[in-house]
Amino acid sequence: MRLDSGDKTCLLQAGVSGDQDLELSLSASLGAKPLYPNACEKAREIVAAMLRNIPAVW
């Protein structure tokens, strides 16, 4: 699920199992360095990196 309100804030939720989700909320301040033109684009990159580091339980 993706909820954004413009280019500066984004909330992403990703299911990691049948009963667990990962949620990331990103807010880019106007003075942030480096500047991110789109908060959801950067949030997707962060969530992808987080998901790669969650161990699979078999």
The domains of the chain are located at 2-52
Q: Tens of pLDDT along 13-53?
A: 888 888 888 899 988 777 766 667 778 888 889 989 988 88
> Has residue 1 got a pLDDT over 60?
no
Better-predicted residue by pLDDT, 1 or 49: 49
Rounded to two decimals, what is the model's pTM? 0.71
Q: Which residues, at least 6 apart from 47, have a Cβ–Cβ distance to it below 8 Å?
A: 12, 14, 22, 24
Residue 9: per-residue pLDDT: 83
